[in-house]
Amino acid sequence: MSAFGGYNGQAYSPAGEKGRFVLPPAFRKAVKESSGGNRTLCLAAHDRFDCLIGFGLSRTEKLDAQLDREEERAIRMNQPDFDREVRAAQLFGFEQLPFDDSGRFVMPEHLKELGKVEDGLYFQAAGEFFFIWAPQQLKLMGPEWKSAQAACETLLAGARKGGAA
């Protein structure tokens, strides 16, 4: 798993038939690499944004350390409202979903609802993980997301054009 170099780039994938979605090729390859050669996609609701995050199994090795850092910071900053158990549930409450050679996977209904997913997914890499946005939700974000919003619009327009042919 040490060869995993992180996620980069962006992609759009329209919803498929039978409630299936497709993990785009560049992300599929990276997830498989991060999951030790297994086709296992980890998906969770983002803790602050109306979107999902995706990653491979190798990220789970780092979650305990992240939890420890966040707790230490809360103690240093005298933040008594930090709840280690709640944060652990957020970090480790991801679903492990199999995907086929074409990247197809079935997204659980509760994740579709949490991510407000409708008819397609925009993938935005973020190093150790990637965001999965419903395009309409990404559009509602502030100016700090303008690059992702522009890429999403371009990819969406391309998908519409390709679908109309």
Question: What pLDDT tens digit does each residue of the chain (165 aa) get?
Answer: 446 788 999 999 998 887 799 999 989 999 999 999 999 999 999 989 999 999 999 998 888 899 999 999 999 999 999 999 999 998 898 999 999 999 999 999 999 999 999 889 999 999 999 999 999 999 999 999 999 999 999 999 998 887 543
The per-residue pLDDT for 161 is 86
Give the residue from 81, 98, 14, 95 showing the smallest Cα distance to 53: 95
Distance (Å, whole) CA 110 – CA 112: 5
Q: Give the Cα separation of 76 and 64 in Å (integer).
A: 18
Task: Give the global pTM.
Answer: 0.86
Instruction: State the pLDDT at residue 3.
Output: 64
Could you please state the CATH topology (level 3) that the domain comprising 10-164 is classified under. Answer: Chemotaxis protein chec (3.40.1550)
Strand order in the sheet with 52-55: 10-14, 120-125, 130-133, 52-55, 40-45, 95-98
pLDDT at 70: 94
